[in-house]
Amino acid sequence: MTDVTEITQQEQNNTFSLVRQENGIAHLIMDVKGDSMNTLKAEFSDEIAEILKEIREDKAIVGLVLASGKADSFVAGADVHMLAGCTSAAEATALSRQGQMIFDQLENLSIPVVAAVHGACLGGGLELAMACHAIVCSDSPKTALGLPEVQLGLLPGGGGTQRLPKRVGIQKSLDMMLTGKQLRAKQALKAGLVSDVVPNSVLLATAEQLALSGKVKPKARQLSFMDKLLEGNGLGRSILFNQATKTVLGKTKGNYPAPLKIIDCIRTGVEQAPSKGYQVEAEHFGQLVMSDVSAQLRQLFFATTDMKKEQGVEGVEPDKISHAAVLGGGLMGGGIAFVTATKAKLPVRIKDISHQGISYALKYGYDLLNKKVKRRFMRHSEMQSQLALITGTTQYSGFNNVDIVVEAVFEDLTLKQNMVADIESHCQESTIFASNTSSLPIGQIAEKAQRPENVIGLHYFSPVDKMPLAEIIAHDKTSDQTISTTVAFAKKQGKTPIVVKDKAGFYVNRILAPYMNEAAILLLEGCSIEALDKAMVKFGFPVGPMQLLDEVGIDIGSKIGPILQAELGERFAPPAAFSKLIDDGRLGKKAKKGFYQYNTKSKKKLVDESVYSLLGLQVSNKAVTDEQAERCVYMMLNEAARCLDEEIIRNARDGDIGAIFGIGFPPFLGGPFQYMDKVGAATLVSKLTQWQAEFGERFAPCDALVKMAEQGESFYS
């Protein structure tokens, strides 16, 4: 028997090492040197092929356990960077075929092969695990299995579209691959994806025993009557695939090609032959790699990955935060407390003027966690321990050791200034005061502060538990230490923070306002509410502008508008007619009265047609043209270019991330700046100038765009 130490020394520079055990089982350990997580790279293929050959030739090996050399992850996926080197669809298709062939070799080994999974097992990592004869995974909350390639505009290219349906069925595999959904250990066991779930301490031993038993074939799936009806015959499968296609087109409006190609891969493998399915998978993978949609989504992935490594101010380390507090127990306060406790794992103290406000905030967190418990996504004990981190008070008791206070009270300058004074008198000298204001300049909030260097803006987006962006707003006296610490705090809460300059509207609301105003002007010109929303959803936004106003609150928009107009000029003037909505109590969804009906049992969103007469309009069915939709979007683009020129944002990348994560700018377009580069500055300026002559000065192209058009420049070189 070969000496284990000798193997380790010989193979210490390799990614894969083979460690033989006395019982005849060999451990195939993957450990990418120098990386915190394992990812699959094209250059590994020769090494894998060589080690598989060694396994085939060594008759002393009676079983194989595939495991990770990383402490907390299995394989996080394929290395996305390698796709950038592909210059044609044929090259990308060849990459896919290479992966398929390696995984086929693993699957075709004559000995039992068991994957021992702990931690992230995603994308190519799950395809690797599924090429094994069985999968055993740990019960750790860190363990997650999924095929999220669709989120990068791609599909699983290593046989995943063919192997997953065999393990979990057509319906479950469609659900996983079309959404990128990840399964926790128990969910994976229930779905039939894994054979067993055990504590990590016995994971390898369990995998060894399974390999030695030889019983590595997945258990036959117990099909329900509905499963048999839909998956067990041609007619049922046809209904299933057609419905999946219809659902995909309804959600994506045809803007994302990957989901339809995933359906085609699965359908081909099931209805024709697996060999044909593998061929189609590789071809589709190659086409998607070269698509502009995938290029933009991959660029977005790289940008967010880079941002995770950055500090608020380069070279300035953040201070440690051990305790946090929130002022105000409303919708925002409850959401901020929730992400602080559940994501950052920090104790958080909510201060409100009433017990009712505190109760509301606590209920907000309870309801969100209880849903996870009911879906068996988390244990009841876990929910209790997370909720125990959130406490409340109507005074300032428990604030003496707080490191950061997030203020989420009403948009009233005097009130916020008083909050600063209260925190300065009840907290430590180093305590950061972070205001969640959406419009008031931070410099004004800090105007009367004794320690203005500790005052900063921390603008979340609603609902806080879902929206990934946070704007960090530094005024001219905010210290670098405060900036870095606040950025680190937002990251711990699971947010992607961008640092922006302290000017009215900051960045996200500033570029959103002209877009919303133009949509309102189109409504007053006779376009229908429904048509406006449909046109912008078709363009790629998650919801239309009228529905967004209802969701955010029409009163919030009415408060922000005058502030932006006073600070930035008449192009921000909201339509005067919209004041009638506020007078009528139409505040949107929260008041169950806005542009849409809320006291109805209809599943479809219905327009409240009484809003037309209120605005002095006729009930409209008028459609929205592509040019009218562009008018709304180009107003946003023009303002984004101004923001970069005025250094409101640090760079175009932050501007793209802010727009996508903050207001749902279509991800497949890459963000406002990527989209402006695609359209071209000259085309933008030409269109804006045309509309300026036709509709007024609000369309005047900003100086930065005009200069770029003249010099043939772009935002990204």
pLDDT in tens, 528-582: 999 999 999 999 999 999 999 998 888 888 878 888 898 899 999 888 888 899 8
Angle between helices 626-645 and 508-524 in degrees, nearest 10 = 150
Residue 116 CA to residue 208 CA, distance in Å, equals 9
Q: Which two tokens stand for residue 294?
A: 């995938």
Q: Tell me the per-residue pLDDT of 494-531, one tens digit each, with 9 for 90 and over.
A: 999 999 999 989 999 999 999 999 999 999 999 999 99
Nearest to 103 by CA among 184, 158, 183: 158
Measured in whole angstroms, the distance separating CA 109 from the mean position of its chain's CA atoms is: 38
Given a cut of 80, whether residue 481 has pLDDT beyond it is: yes
Given a cut of 60, whether residue 3 has pLDDT beyond it is: no
Given a cut of 70, whether residue 388 has pLDDT beyond it is: yes
Q: What is the CATH number of domain 324-502?
A: 3.40.50.720
pLDDT for the residue numbered 4: 43
Residue limits of CATH 3.90.226.10 in the chain: 4-289
Average pLDDT over residues 415-436: 96
281, 529, 559, 600 from 584: Cα distances, Å: 56, 18, 16, 20
Nearest to 633 by CA among 589, 678, 570, 593: 678
DSSP-derived 3-state class of residue 57:
helix
Q: Which two tokens stand for residue 308?
A: 């995770």
Angle between helices 508-524 and 545-552 in degrees, nearest 10 = 120
Given a cut of 60, whether residue 393 has pLDDT beyond it is: yes
Q: Annotate 472-518 with three-state secondary structure.
A: EEECCCCCHHHHHHHHHHHHHCCCEEEEEECCCCCCHHHHHHHHHHH
Residue 443 CA to residue 636 CA, distance in Å, equals 25
Percent of the chain with pLDDT over 90: 84
pLDDT for the residue numbered 86: 94
Given a cut of 60, whether residue 56 has pLDDT beyond it is: yes
Range scoring the smallest mean pLDDT among 93-97, 157-161, 379-383, 638-642: 379-383
Average pLDDT over residues 21-46: 94
Residue limits of CATH 1.10.1040.50 in the chain: 509-711
Residue 419 CA to residue 424 CA, distance in Å, equals 9
Nearest to 642 by CA among 630, 653, 629, 655: 655
Residue 12 binned pLDDT confidence (cut-offs 50, 70, 90): low
Residue with tokens 């509309």: 691
User: Is 268:277 a contact under the CB 8 Å cutoff?
Assistant: yes
CATH topology of domain 4-289: 2-enoyl-CoA Hydratase; Chain A, domain 1 (3.90.226)
- The domain defined by 509-711 carries CATH number 1.10.1040.50: yes
Q: Tell me the per-residue pLDDT of 148-196, one tens digit each, with 9 for 90 and over.
A: 999 999 999 999 999 999 999 999 999 999 999 999 999 999 999 999 9
Active-site option among 407, 471, 530, 639: 471
Residue 615 CA to residue 190 CA, distance in Å, equals 54
Given a cut of 70, whether residue 349 has pLDDT beyond it is: yes
DSSP-derived 3-state class of residue 146:
strand
Residue 9 binned pLDDT confidence (cut-offs 50, 70, 90): very low
User: Is 543:676 a contact under the CB 8 Å cutoff?
Assistant: no
Question: Max CA-CA distance within the chain?
Answer: 89
Tell me the β-bridge partners of 496: 469
Q: Which two tokens stand for residue 27?
A: 């451990």
Range scoring the smallest mean pLDDT among 466-470, 541-545, 562-566, 595-599: 562-566
Residue with tokens 């921390």: 458
pLDDT for the residue numbered 217: 80
Angle at 546 between CA 328 and CA 257, to 5 degrees: 105
Residue 208 CA to residue 230 CA, distance in Å, equals 37
Does residue 471 carry a catalytic annotation? yes
User: Is 185:206 a contact under the CB 8 Å cutoff?
Assistant: no
Residue limits of CATH 3.40.50.720 in the chain: 324-502
